Structure formats: structure tokens, C-alpha cells
Chains A and B, each alone.
Chain A
Amino acid sequence: MGLSAIAVLGVARPGVIAEVTSAFTRHGANIEDSAMTLLGGHMAMMMLVSGQVPPASAFPGLTVTAAEVGSCRDHDREGGLGYVLTVHGPDRPGIVSSVSEAFTEVSGIITSMTTRLYGSLYVLIADVWLPAKVDVAALMRRLAAVGAGLGCAVTFRPAEAEVL
């Protein structure tokens, strides 16, 4: 079965997720990894779907993009550690790019990220994976400097992971 990456965007309203997912069910497709959130009042859903992708007419009123993708091996994350980053402060351009560059410099990977703008408050929270070799203290100093330059508060802490 082929694998497709699909993005769905539409107005958030009761029933919209049921409509999207039932379209895949009717066509025998299987939703594998997926993430859905509300961006403002807009429903945004991203999926990896195996099987037959429904025709465009199956998603009335929604903006849908789809692309066939090959199977992709997840980036090797053996030995590294997970962290959570919080940045908050006055909204201004460049917060996400400045912070993400700091992780790029140490080969860190942002595995999940949420940003929220409420009034003039901008909030960024990200899950980050760092290779074991990274000097975390130095990275935290770098992040603090980036935050100071942006006028933002930055918190960087180990992710909680209780394996039972």
C-alpha cells in the first residue's frame, strides 16, 4: 500500500473531523500518524495515510493537499535526551527562527512545537531531542542570550518520561 502525506485545513465546526476521517474509512484508507489542532478558529490536520486516498470531492468545503511519500526511517535518536523549551514574551518577528537556529547548531531536533499568540503575548513551547554529545549547559547559555535579545523569557528543562 502506498503512503500519502495529507494536510486538511478548514473552518472549525462540529463534525468536521468525523467528516474527514469517515471519508478515509469509506475508501479503505488507514490513518497512521496524525496530528490535529485549532489554529485560531481554523481546523488544521496532518496525516500519514496508507491505502487509497479519497477523491477531492470527498472533502467539500475543505482545503486539502496530498502527496505520495516513501517510507522514511525516523532520524536515529539513540542515546540522546528529550527536553522541553518554553519561550514567552512580547510578539515580534524572528522568535521561532532565532530559537530553532540554536538547536540546529548542535544538531538538535524539534520533534513537536506549538506557538500561541494571545494579545501581545507570544508563547512557544517545543519538544526537543538533543544528541548525547551536546553541551547542554552551553546550549542553555546560548538560549538565554537568544531570549535576552528577543526580550523573551526562556525555560529549557528535561522532558518528563516515566517509563513504568
Chain B
Amino acid sequence: MTATLPPETGAAGASAEPPLAASRPALAQDWRRLVRMGAVGAVAQVFIALSNMPVRLDERVIVKPVLSLGYLTLLIVPFAAGHRVGHQIKREGMPQHAAGAHEVAGGAACGAVAGGGLSLLAVLLANFDLREPLVNWSPMLAELLAFGNATRFAVVIWLLIGAAVGALGGGLRLLGPRTRRAVVTMALAVGGAAVLEPLVVDLAEGMRLEALTDRLYARRGGINWTSALGLAAGSGILAVLGRGRIQQARAHIAELEGAQRTRTNGLLILATAAVLIVLPLFAGKLTNELLANVGLFVLLALGLNVVVGLAGILDLGYVAFFAVGSYSAAVLTAATSPRINPELPWLVALIVVVIITGLVGLFIGAPVIRMRGDYLAIVTLGFGEIIRLLFLSDWLSGWFGGSQGITKIPGAGIFGLTDVAGTDPRRVFYLVLAFCALAIYVSWRLERSRLGRAWMAVREDETVAEAMGINTVNVKLLAFVVGAVLGSFSGAIFSAKVGSVFPNSFLILVSIVILVVVIFGGMGNIVGVIAGSAVLIGVLGGPKQPGLLAEFSEFKLLIYGALLIWMMLARPEGLIPSVRRSRELHQQEMAQDAWLKGQVEDDNHDDGGSGPQATPAT
């Protein structure tokens, strides 16, 4: 919506910076809020410590001798608490206090309380044995908390660390917006370089640039501290220099007129495609494997996006279509399939798979489509589970192999040119890429058609859509089927890639992970959905597939759950929202803003539409 509003708001002055009052004295804290936030932080700290994250992630070094991912998980909490406690609620017309010693002191106190959780834990670890229910109640954890020293040391050091890190968090508020952006960029650059380490090393090997990565990364993982400093400095300088450039460029593109804009967009798409085609050539097997996995989930997410994002149907059993696609492709192509084994070529099988999945989509969709949204969600979940249980059952094991699954599935042959199998992840990636392009094209075209508009209307108000002559049942059913077919592509590629299918690859949690990915990126927005799945699946990994942070595999589902809650609370429209979705979720606030800025017409001064008084049309 900001794109449609000009930056200046004229006399209304709603967005003008409110006057800054003097900063508050350091000790005039809102102690209740501070202690509450600190306590939440302490609980989070103890939870993280007992979840074994610090111990398991200690092996992944971020900056060579200084910081490991394990310690980072512990440090981030007091930092966030210290930063958060200095947050002022902006009230219209009320003066904002300038940030000062107050924020630093508050952050330090809050961080100390949060760190105190670990101090307490260290004492408890030394004196009680709760290993019975809590599996991670270990001497190793105690040792990690005390840095190898006595318990007393741990108590003091975590209070101090908490206070220091909390003060840093609060201190972040002292920085001007420009400096803060530079600092954030620096942190992101170092963190990103550390997270992307396997990818960068692999690519550098492919391009024969080992010298570069040898300098950047330490021998056994992690960035050298010297390189980290250099990287931070470089990115900081870039951030300061490049300030606003990106935004300017974006604004520039947004201003372009029809044909020119289409051309720019086309160029951007071509460039992205070129990078995606060239990149795998330099990448090793592991990176290509990762890219292929990410691609598979992008494809699934694009399919679910049609159902959830465009038509607004919350389908929790989306994995069913993935499963049906995989199994039918397996049955049609594998010689080892128990009952029927026509051993069709993959492309021919794919056509049959699409038909079968489309029919299954109709079969599942028809009974649920008239239900209330939330009942529909639960029932689709039930269908997803029933389908898995049927594949698993002895009853149908004569067809689908029961818990043994179907193995030795041949790769996907494309016109006899190549054979795409899991042994060559690069080819898998190209195949996935082609289908992703197809899925993007399909969702893009459909969204801008009569059908897409009907989906939108159904999402907005089903009763009215029906009254305006839209056959809501058919339209929703079609969304369901389109989603099912896109999911089946993914399934067919999956079975060819892995070479075997088992019922346990299709647990409900796969549905939920895809849903998280779609919501994280931004429902209804193709770019958002792609970015969301690339980031989440790439970094954390899919339900069974490792990501860049392979050490996270035990914790990724926990993080997916937490992420889903947090997204819903803080940013339900996703990271890259579709304009429409964010309108839907923030309609009231936007209407209010527009009113404050004089953008909403006044009934009493409706002048016959010569344009809004306060602002020119965009």
C-alpha cells in the first residue's frame, strides 16, 4: 500500500516524526515490564539450554575461535529481550523520548534477568539429577554453561553476559537509523557467510576459487575472525554507501510505464533464470542435491499457494496429492510394483499421474468444498492421513507394498535424451526447475484471468460471490484440482529422484511444513512463496531433507512451529506480502491511515470525483 501513497502527506502530517522529548534517566525504569520481559527471556534461555541446542550446535562454528552457533542461540535471547524492553509505543501526538542511558540500563537489567535463568540452571544442574525425564540434563551442559569452570563461575558469568548483551541490545536503539542499518547489514553479512559456508565452498571449488574460501573460512568450519572483521567492515561501508540505492531502483522500476516495465520485468526474470541454469554447473553434488530439494518444495508450495493463497481454502491434507503423485508414478514406472507394472516411460506415466491426481482431487474436494473453512481444514487433514494409512495398510499392500513401499523406481527419462535419477542431482534440479517454471506460469496466468478474479471474490465473501453469479462450488473445486495437479508433479519427480516410496514420507507434518513455507513467504504472492521456501527449506531443510544448517535437523520442526506462531502474531501477510493479502489483514489500520492523510473521501464533500483533495492520483 505504501507504493500507492506518495511519501509526502502534506498538511495532515500524520507520518511526520513526532517531537523528541529529552531522554529519561537511567533508573526510571518500568520495572514490572522489565522483570516480566526478563523472566520470559529466562524461561526461553532455560528451554533452549535444556533442548540441547547449545551442546549440539556448539560444533558449528560461526566466527573461528570466538563464536559458535551453540552460544549464539543462548546469546540471542538476552539481546532480543534487552532490545525489546526499550521499545516505546508510538502514540499519535505524544512526544517520543530520545534514546539514551535509560535504554542501555534497561537492556542491561533485562538481559541480566534473562541470563539469570541460566545461572539458576547451572546451580540446579550441579545439585540435582533430573536426567530421568529431561534427557539433556547432562554434565556436558553444565560444563558448557560454566566454560569448563566451577558452577560459581557459571552463575556470575551468565549474569554478566546477560547484562552485557542486553545492554548491547538496548544500545542498538541509540544508533541513528542509518548506523543501525549498517550494523544490521554487517551482522547479516557475517551470519549469512557462515550459514552459506557449505554452499560457497562448494561453488568456489567448482569455479576453482579455493584460494578465496581458504582465506575466508577456517579449516574446520567457521569464518576466520580476521575475515569476519573484514567482511563486516566491507558490508558496513557498502551499506552506508548504498543507502537508499536499492529503494531508489525499486521506485524507479515501479514508475515505469506499461511496455517498459514489462521489459524490465522480463529482463529480471531472464537474469534469474540464467543464474539458476548456470549455477548448478559449478556446484558439486551436495549443493545440487540441496537445490533439487528446495526446488521440490518450491513446486509444492506453489501448488498449495493456488489453493490457500488464491482461493482461500485452507487445505491441511495437501501431502495427499504429493503421495498420490509419487505412488502412482512409482506404480506406473517401476518393474517391482506388486500388482500392476506397465513400466511406462516417465513422461507418459506423468500424464496418467496428472489424470489420477486430478480425479483424487475431485474425489476429496467434492465432499469438503461446501464445508465451513475450519471444518474443511480438519477434514482435508483427515483425508491426508487416510490416504497414507491406506498406502500403509496390509489390505492394499498387494498394490502398494504396505510398509515396504515400492523400491527400485527407475529415473525419469525425457524423450530418451537423458535419464533423470537421484544419482545425478543436477539433472533433477533442471527437471524441477522446468516444472517450477510451469507452475509459476500457471499460477501467474490464472491469477490474472476470469477464474483468478472469481477465486479472489470467493475468498473475500462467498455468499456475495454466489449472488454475483459465480458458481462457488465449481470455482473452488477447480482451485483444489489445480493445486492437486501441481502437487502431483512434485510427487512424480520425487519418486524418480529418490528411487523408492514409503508411506512414511507422506506424514501430515509435510503438509504443515509446506503451509509454514507458504505463509512465511507471503500467501498469494508467487515471489514471496518462492523466496519463503527457498530460505526455509534451503537453510533449515525439509521434513526429512537436510538444509544448509544440517546441525539443526533435530530442531527444525520446533523452529517451524515457533515460526508459524510468530508469523501469525507479528506478520500474518508473510515476508513478501501480496498487496491484496496485506490489505485484507490490515484493512482497518490502512483505512485509518488513509483517513488521517485525507485520502478517504468525505461523504459530505463528495465533489463528484474530481480526485481526492489532499493528494494527487498515483
A binds B: no
- B residues sitting closer than 8 Å to A (CB atoms) are none
Binding site for B on A (CB under 8 A): none
